[in-house]
């Protein structure tokens, strides 16, 4: 089955886009973090956007879980707002979290990670890493 990424794309999260621009210019740090899932709240920027429920979506979630089991986990880019981690575009990944499939997760966090549930923190990560993912802004 061929996955059409545009079909699954969420609406644009302007706050996330602003963070990407600021991070790519070195104006805010980005940290790598390993987080205990049960100790934090992870929210969708657009709660009604549920690509995992669309045609082909369950297969994507199963593949992501299989990748995680094979030590190839997705590592989302998150931001902190109101004491929670927010997901702007990794909606299949958050489906794994919501289904209770991951006890811990690794992520890139714009700004300082939350202290609760934080098992490991690295960084700030190099600007080149941000550029490799998002390009220079």
The count of structural domains within the chain is 1
pTM above 0.85, yes or no: no
Residue 13's pLDDT band, with cuts at 50, 70 and 90, is confident
* Cβ proximity of 45 and 9 under 8 Å: no
Give pLDDT, residue 2. Answer: 46
Q: Is 84 a member of any domain?
A: yes
- Percentage, residues of the chain above pLDDT 90: 36
Cα 128 versus chain centre, distance: 19
Average pLDDT rounded to a whole number, residues 121-127: 92
Mean pLDDT of 22-30: 94
Query: What is the mean pLDDT of the segment spanning 103-117?
Result: 93
Instruction: Give strand pairing partners of 77.
Output: 108
Tokens of 39: 């100790």
The answer to whether position 4 is within a domain reads no
Using an 8 Å Cβ cutoff, are 108 and 119 in contact?
no
Q: What is the mean pLDDT of residues 108-135?
A: 91
In a domain, 60, yes or no: yes
In a domain, 6, yes or no: no
**Residue 93 domain flag:** yes
User: Rounded to whole angstroms, how far apart are CA atoms 68 and 121?
Assistant: 20
* 114 lies in some domain: yes
Domain residues for 121? Answer: 11-134
Query: 93 pLDDT band (50/70/90 cuts)?
Result: confident
Rounded to 10 deg, the angle between the 127-134 and 14-24 helix axes is: 130
Q: What is residue 97's predicted lDDT score, i.e. its pLDDT?
A: 81
Q: What is the pLDDT of residues 60-85, one digit of tens each?
A: 667 766 666 666 656 789 999 999 99
Structure-block tokens of residue 129: 């890493």
What is the per-residue pLDDT for 132?
85
């Amino acid at each position: 089955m061929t996955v059409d990424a545009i079909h699954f794309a969420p609406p644009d999260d302007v706050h996330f886009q602003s963070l990407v621009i600021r991070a790519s210019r070195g104006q805010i740090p980005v940290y790598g973090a390993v987080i205990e899932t049960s100790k934090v709240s992870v929210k969708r920027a657009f709660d009604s956007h549920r690509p995992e429920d669309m045609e082909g979506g369950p297969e994507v979630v199963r593949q992501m879980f299989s990748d995680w089991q094979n030590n190839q986990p997705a590592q989302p880019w998150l931001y902190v707002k109101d004491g929670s981690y927010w997901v702007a575009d990794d909606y299949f990944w958050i489906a794994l979290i919501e289904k209770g499939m991951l006890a811990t997760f690794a992520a890139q966090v714009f700004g300082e990670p939350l202290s609760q549930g934080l098992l490991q923190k690295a960084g700030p990560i190099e600007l080149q890493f941000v550029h490799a993912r998002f390009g220079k802004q």
